[in-house]
Amino acid sequence: MQIGSYSISNNLVVAPMAGVTDRPFRQLCKRLGAGLAISEMVASSPQLRATEKSQRRTDHCGEVEPIVAQIAGADPKHMADAARYNVERGAQIIDINMGCPAKKVCNVAAGSALLQNEPLVAAIVDAVVRAVAVPVTLKIRTGWSPQHRNALRIARIAEDAGVAALSIHGRTRACGFVGAVEYETIRAVKQAARIPVIANGDVDSPAKARDVLEHTGADAIMIGRAAQGRPWIFREIRHYLDHGEALPPPEVEEMRQLILDHLADHYAFYGEVTGVRSARKHLGWYAASLVGGDVFRHDINRLETTAAQIAQVNRFFDRLAANADRLECTPAVTTTAASWVEEALAA
């Protein structure tokens, strides 16, 4: 897939996810087979640029190229300024967020709320494309409600403004993450578009990735929630697309080392206090389907130091390794990912 002057090594993209796709996680996903990874969204408001959170989100030091920064906002001038600012901070591709359905984003008329205002969509994408010399991409949904699907019109607006690629989550803003994904709409946009189209929504297995690519004709697929706690999904999909066969689950010792490497990078990025708290959700996701995962999650959320977290990870994997060389998953997970995060933040 080609985005502007950048040739992407494969057709697997890490979706931007607030609180998840920080630099350590993006680096890990790239190492495990993703061709492209998009940053957490960065607010376009100039007043927020100096905050610790924004500074981290625009820190791309040592990141595997091409570097993609996603910006969010509803003011064309602020969005243009944000694009320039992020390019100065190392971004090589700017992605515009018009897909986030979160209330706190939509309540300020940003994210997927923008899909209700096509003239403003045009003004924003035109301002951002004109502001920077790097490729600009756009993330959208199929519309703002099932009664108001306008992805085809938004795609034409984006193309006319010079957007280099389009990502589509196959649900409307009103649907959030519930209900069937509208792959037919993504297919229709791809058939009409002259730019690369990336399909997003409920791709959670190698076979699903193949089916979505074949059905929509999309140039690439974007994976979000399925990579939480399972970043090796990218190599699994890559292998399946290339060879038509499934890879075995990771070995226990490989997963232990992968998690320890992720933690080391995570702690270095955030520091001790913030690093320990923000690592809890990742550790909960890693252990979600593993035998004893619920007990591990409960314990890890009460630890306050990096050394204690690392020791707990090693104890957990010592028990797993004593019983099997490869991962063994429980038949069902009884606790939702959302509740793990809530518990981790409350601890």
**Domain annotation for the chain: domains and CATH numbers:** 2-243 (3.20.20.70), 252-346 (no CATH)
Rounded average pLDDT over 105-129: 86
pLDDT of residue 101: 72
Q: Do residues 262 and 28 lie in contact, with contact meaning Cβ atoms separated by under 8 Å?
A: yes
What token pair was written down for 239?
């292998």
Does position 343 have pLDDT exceeding 60, yes or no? no
Does position 333 have pLDDT exceeding 70, yes or no? no
Query: What is the rounded distance in angstroms from the CA atom of residue 310 to the CA atom of residue 300?
Result: 10
Rounded average pLDDT over 66-86: 96
Q: What pTM was computed for the model? A: 0.90
Indicate the residue type of 151. Answer: A
Give the chain's mean pLDDT. 91
Known catalytic membership, residue 100: yes
Does position 331 have pLDDT exceeding 70, yes or no? no
Long-range interactions of 275-282: CB distance < 8 A, separation 24+ = 275/306, 276/303, 276/304, 276/305, 276/306, 276/309, 277/344, 277/345, 278/19, 279/309, 280/344, 280/345, 280/347, 281/19, 281/20, 281/340, 281/341, 281/344, 281/345, 282/25, 282/228, 282/229
Select which of 29, 61, 100, 329 is catalytic.
Answer: 100
Query: What is the rounded distance in angstroms from the CA atom of residue 16 to the CA atom of residue 29?
Result: 12
